[in-house]
C-alpha cells in the first residue's frame, strides 16, 4: 500500500509540479521574510538664485529623482513627500541631495548648468520603529546657479557698478 501511495505521489507531483511526503515531521523554513519598504515624510523648501542673489524661475528642483517642484517667479520651491523611501537617512552610503536643473532655458536667462546641493536633514518627527522613518526636514535652502552656459550672466541681473567720484579740475 505504501508503494502505491509513493508511486501515486510521484506521478501527481510530476504532473502538478509539487511533491508529496509521507512524513509527519514539520518542515523547517527558517525565518519568515518581512515585506514592505521603510517609508517616511520629507519636507524641503528654499529659493533658486543667480550669482548676485536675484531669483530664477523655471528651475526644476528634485529629490531622489522622484519628488520635484519648479521654482516660481520669486525663485521659491518646496517639496513635500509622504510615504516614500528615503535611503539617505537610514545609514546608507549616499548623501541626501537635491538637484536643480534649468528646464526653462533662455526664458529665465539661462540655460544654467545643473547644480547638486547636499542636504543636512533634521528629523522633526521620530519614526515608530520598523518601517516608519519619521519626518525629515530642511528649510530655507538657497541654491545658487552659476552663470548661464551659452549667454553668460544676464545683463538685467548684473549689479550696478559703484559710482566713481569725478575729479573736476580746480579753477
Q: Coil, strand, or helix at residue 24?
A: coil
pTM of the model: 0.65
Q: What is the DSSP letter of 73?
A: T
- Our count of domains for the chain comes to 1
For the CA atoms of 53, 98, 69, 138, the dihedral, rounded to the nearest 10 degrees, stands at -80
Give me the pLDDT at residue 32, please: 46
User: Dihedral, CA atoms, 8, 12, 18, 24, nearest 10 degrees?
Assistant: -30
Quick check: is 10 in a domain? no
Give the percent of the chain with pLDDT over 90. 28
Report the chain's mean pLDDT, rounded to a whole number: 77
Res 143: pLDDT: 93
Q: How far apart are CA 49 and CA 32, in angstroms?
A: 51
Residue 129 located in a structural domain:
yes
Nearest alpha-carbon partner for 89 in 47, 139, 128, 132: 132
115 found inside a domain? yes
In a domain, 34, yes or no: no
Q: Within a domain: residue 31?
A: no
For 144, the domain range is 39-153
Q: What is the pLDDT of residue 111?
A: 84
* pLDDT of 19 strictly over 80: no
Do the domain assignments include residue 85? yes
- Can you tell me the mean pLDDT for 48-69? 89
Taking the C-alpha atoms of residue 39 and residue 34, their distance in angstroms, rounded to an integer, is 14
pLDDT in tens, 23-53: 555 545 444 445 567 888 899 999 999 888 8
130 falls within a domain: yes
User: Does residue 65 sit within a domain?
Assistant: yes
CA dihedral 161, 163, 167, 171 (to 10 degrees): 150
Whichever domain contains 98, its CATH number is: 2.60.40.1120
Amino acid at each position: 500500500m505504501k508503494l502505491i501511495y509513493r508511486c501515486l505521489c510521484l506521478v501527481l507531483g510530476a504532473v502538478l509540479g509539487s511533491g508529496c511526503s509521507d512524513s509527519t515531521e514539520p518542515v523547517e523554513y527558517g525565518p519568515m521574510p518581512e515585506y514592505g519598504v521603510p517609508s517616511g515624510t520629507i519636507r524641503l523648501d528654499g529659493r533658486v538664485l543667480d550669482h548676485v542673489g536675484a531669483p530664477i524661475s523655471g528651475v526644476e528642483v528634485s529629490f531622489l529623482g522622484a519628488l520635484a517642484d519648479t521654482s516660481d517667479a520669486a525663485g521659491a520651491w518646496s517639496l513635500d513627500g509622504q510615504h516614500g523611501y528615503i535611503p539617505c537617512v537610514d545609514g546608507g552610503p549616499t548623501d541626501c541631495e537635491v538637484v536643480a536643473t534649468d528646464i526653462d532655458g533662455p526664458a529665465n536667462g539661462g540655460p544654467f548648468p545643473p547644480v547638486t546641493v547636499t542636504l543636512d536633514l533634521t528629523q522633526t518627527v521620530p519614526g515608530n520603529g520598523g518601517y516608519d522613518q519619521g519626518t525629515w526636514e530642511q528649510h530655507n535652502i538657497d541654491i545658487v546657479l552659476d552663470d548661464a552656459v551659452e549667454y553668460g550672466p544676464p545683463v538685467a541681473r548684473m549689479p550696478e557698478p559703484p559710482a566713481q567720484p569725478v575729479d573736476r579740475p580746480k579753477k
